[in-house]
Amino acid sequence: MTRQGGVVTLADAENYVHRLIAPSSPHEAWTVADNDVLAGLVCVTVDEENKSGWFWYWMTDTARGRGWTSQAAATVADWALNTRGLERLELAHRVNNPASGAIARRAGFVREGTERGKFLISGQRIDVDTYGRLGSDPSAPFERVPMADS
Ligand SMILES: CC(C)(COP(=O)(O)OP(=O)(O)OC[C@H]1O[C@@H](n2cnc3c(N)ncnc32)[C@H](O)[C@@H]1OP(=O)(O)O)[C@@H](O)C(=O)NCCC(=O)NCCS
């Protein structure tokens, strides 16, 4: 999360949201709302030239472990490929963050490889697993959630 730009103050949070929703932003973000309160985010950062998107997500700590991120990721991935018209989605996660890989697989992503020693974190080189999902890949058999555009 700190690599997303560390949100600590209300002003940081407002900047974070503005970066996501600015008219020129490549980010197409969907919030996961719990009775209108922000719980998490699933976002596709679009590369129009390649009709592809970088797929990323987070869930606030008190709402984790309920399957919400998996459901939201499966829903947004289907939307991105079937409605938004992208042809490839890709993501990556550190191997010491296996929950993220579980979410990717549940959202229909296929593991494509490992970038060895990708990041230097606290003096340790950390491998990163990479995943992709093409429009032609099967949809994930996971419960979808309703999407509301605003
Ligand atoms: C990763 C993250 C999004 C998970 O959110 P979550 O809402 O808890 O995810 P879900 O509840 O939908 O599912 C997580 C799955 O991973 C599994 N999981 C959790 N820890 C695991 C572990 N150590 N090993 C294997 N699987 C694990 C869970 O058991 C769950 O599967 P289950 O429902 O079959 O039990 C959340 O921890 C987070 O926001 N982390 C910080 C940001 C981040 O890492 N984002 C991803 C960047 S690549």
Say yes or no: CB of residue 75 within 6 Å of ligand 1. no
Whole-number Å distance between alpha carbons of 138 and 68: 21
Which CATH number do you get for residue 103?
A: 3.40.630.30
pTM of structure? 0.94
Cβ atoms within 10 Å, residue 123: 5
Does the C-beta of 147 come closer than 6 Å to ligand 1?
no
Q: What is the DSSP string of 52-107?
A: EEEEEEEE-GGGTTSSHHHHHHHHHHHIIIIIS--SEEEEEEETT-HHHHHHHHHT
Would residue 117 count as lying in a domain?
Answer: yes
Report yes or no on 146 lying in a domain: no
- Cα 120 to Cα 137: distance, rounded to the nearest angstrom: 33
Ligand 1 atom nearest residue 94's Cα = 48
User: Quick check: is 143 in a domain?
Assistant: no
Q: Domain containing 112: what range?
A: 2-134
Can you tell me which atom of ligand 1 is nearest the CA of 102? Answer: 16
88 in a structural domain: yes
Number of domains in the chain: 1
Identify whether 149 is part of a domain: no
10-residue averages of pLDDT along the chain (150 residues): 80 92 95 92 97 97 96 96 97 97 97 97 96 94 84
